[in-house]
């Protein structure tokens, strides 16, 4: 009865998975032609859409040299070796043994018809033999073991793909953050020059009686504030370089000379194809891995059930023993044995039944995990799209604000130089302009990073040919 209940649960969960997949095929991601989000097929090599040679180079390096990826490749090789181990259980097993010993015993020796004496006797003993066994996989125990090992290897390979997807996404995001931080540093330094000019101008006007010491201190305080923003940005820039170096399998300072020079942010592609939600089942390696793990567990259920039934084997042996090595040849005097063996489980204390129940429970767990992986993938992708669209709106608003604030600053400076106002309006206008420009640079960096996140959530980039094991 319990077996039937467990089997029914598995069927219900399998039906739920099929229903989930069917519902995905009828839905679509939120697309927006205004924001460049379209339902076209996804480009796996997404990094080429940015047309940044440095980014493409870092992607290739990371795919070849990253330490975590190499460890994942090793796990794939281990899983594939385990397939051969499982297959070996279904093949004939032949063992050969050779033994040599020198024995000493004591025997009675007749000295005369009426007297005996115990004398030592030493002799050599050489023995050679061959043992043979072959389990006939009548009830599929070994076949299911091999099937489970194959799906384990497939899951390990998909996990490697997942590591690669995450790795390339990290490279893209840290590269975008690096170039965005460098842009913010350039903006800060330009503003420092502006502040220095304003300080000199304020001092000159104060010396001419057109300003006050208060205006000078205000200008100097603003200069100090802008200068104080540079060191944290420089630390962030260095940290991004260190992370990119480690992601490419090198020491933290390895890419400093290459990446320290400021370069423009990669341009976001005008169109981002997101495909259909149902295509995630084919692209996302974490979904493919979850599916392979579930298939492997179903095979283990069959392997566990096979223990209910007898095991049939063919066994045989051949032995030869002699006191001299040259006589160790198989001849008429050799000992042979061959025949079938049947091993029947009579009493196991409930071990087999408990193991079957255990494997079924694990299958139910993996079925739920598989479904949850699909839902999480949909959520991650949809959130990435929404975040990109909202950031694009924010970027457009900041860009318009930047232009307006530049015009306001110019008017404030004209009025100040003409003596129509004091210096406070210029300070306020300049301060707001610096803040807007800094936010605009941050938003530009985030747009590139959000684009990378979309491609990463869509599963792009896992089929890079150069890193196949």
Computed over its alpha carbons, how large is the radius of gyration of the chain?
38
pLDDT at 10: 47
Three-state secondary-structure class, residue 1 = coil
Token pair recorded at residue 105? 């015993």
| Distance, CA of 322 to CA of 29 (rounded, Å) | 81
Q: Tell me how far apart the terminal alpha carbons of the chain are, to the nearest angstrom.
A: 46
Instruction: State the average pLDDT for the chain.
Output: 83
* CA 156 to mean position of chain CA atoms: 10
Angle between helices 230-247 and 213-228 (to 10 degrees): 10
In this structure, what DSSP letter does residue 324 have? S
| Distance, CA of 406 to CA of 417 (rounded, Å) | 17
Kindly list the domain boundaries of the chain, sorted by start residue: 2-90+140-309+351-467, 92-136+312-344
pLDDT 10s digits, 225-265: 889 989 999 999 999 999 999 999 999 999 999 999 999 99
- Residue from 424, 410, 321, 304 nearest 357 by CA: 304
Which residues fall within 8 angstroms of residue 198, CB to CB, at 6 or more apart? 219, 222, 223, 426, 430
Pick the CATH number of 2-90+140-309+351-467 from 3.40.50.1100, 3.30.1330.40, 3.40.50.300, 1.20.1600.10: 1.20.1600.10
pLDDT at 6: 45
- Phi, psi torsion values for 270, nearest 5 degrees: -65, -25
% of the chain exceeding 90 in pLDDT: 40
Question: Mind spelling out the 3-state secondary structure of 361-426?
Answer: HHHHHHHHHHHHHHHHHHHHHHHHHHHHHHHHHHHHHHHHHHHHHHHHHHHHHHHHHCCCCCCHHH
pTM over 0.95: no
Task: List the chain residues with pLDDT less than 50.
Answer: 1-23, 25-26, 332, 465-469
Q: So what CATH class is 92-136+312-344?
A: mainly beta
pLDDT 10s digits, 70-125: 999 999 999 999 999 999 888 888 888 877 777 777 776 666 666 667 767 777 77
pLDDT at 417: 80
pLDDT at 176: 94
pLDDT at 466: 45
- Residue from 329, 292, 403, 293 nearest 129 by CA: 329
């Amino acid at each position: 009865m319990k077996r039937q209940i467990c089997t029914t649960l598995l069927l219900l969960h399998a039906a739920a998975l099929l229903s989930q997949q069917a519902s995905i095929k009828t839905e679509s991601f939120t697309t927006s032609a205004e924001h460049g989000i379209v339902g076209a097929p996804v480009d796996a090599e997404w990094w080429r859409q940015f047309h940044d040679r440095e980014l493409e180079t870092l992607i290739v390096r990371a795919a070849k040299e990253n330490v975590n990826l190499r460890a994942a490749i090793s796990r794939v090789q281990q899983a594939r070796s385990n397939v051969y181990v499982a297959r070996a259980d279904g093949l004939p097993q032949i063992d050969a043994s050779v033994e040599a010993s020198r024995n000493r015993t004591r025997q009675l020796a007749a000295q005369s018809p009426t007297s005996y004496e115990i004398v030592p006797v030493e002799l050599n003993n050489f023995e050679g033999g061959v043992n043979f066994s072959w389990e006939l996989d009548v009830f599929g125990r070994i076949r299911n073991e091999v099937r489970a090992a194959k799906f384990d290897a497939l899951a390990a390979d998909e996990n490697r793909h997942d590591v690669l997807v995450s790795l390339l996404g990290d490279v893209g995001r840290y590269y975008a953050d690096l170039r965005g931080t460098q842009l913010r540093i350039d903006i800060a330094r330009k503003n420092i020059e502006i502040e220095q000019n304003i300080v000199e101008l304020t001092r000159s006007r104060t010396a001419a009686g057109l300003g006050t010491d208060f205006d000078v201190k205000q200008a100097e305080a603003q200069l100090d504030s802008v200068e104080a923003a540079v060191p944290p940005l420089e630390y962030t820039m260095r940290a991004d370089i260190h992370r990119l170096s480690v992601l490419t399998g090198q020491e933290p300072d390895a890419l400093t000379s290459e990446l320290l020079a400021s370069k423009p942010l990669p341009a976001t592609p005008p169109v981002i194809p997101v495909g259909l939600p149902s295509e995630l089942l084919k692209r996302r390696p974490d979904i493919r891995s979850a599916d392979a793990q579930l298939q492997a567990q179903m095979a283990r259920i069959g392997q566990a059930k096979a223990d209910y039934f007898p095991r049939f084997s063919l066994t045989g042996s051949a032995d030869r023993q002699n006191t001299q090595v040259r006589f160790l040849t198989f001849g008429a005097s050799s000992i042979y044995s061959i025949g079938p063996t049947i091993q029947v489980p009579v009493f196991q204390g409930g071990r087999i039944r408990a193991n079957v129940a255990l494997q079924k429970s694990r299958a139910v767990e993996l079925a739920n995990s598989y479904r949850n992986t699909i839902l999480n993938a949909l959520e991650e992708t949809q959130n990435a799209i929404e975040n990109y669209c909202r950031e694009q709106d924010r970027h457009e608003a900041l860009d318009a604000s930047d232009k307006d604030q530049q015009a306001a600053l110019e008017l404030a400076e004209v009025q100040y130089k003409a003596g129509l106002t004091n210096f406070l309006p210029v300070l306020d206008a300049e301060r707001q302009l610096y803040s807007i420009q800094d936010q605009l640079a941050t938003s530009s960096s985030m747009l590139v990073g959000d684009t990378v996140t979309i491609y990463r959530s869509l599963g792009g980039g896992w089929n890079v040919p150069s890193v196949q094991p």
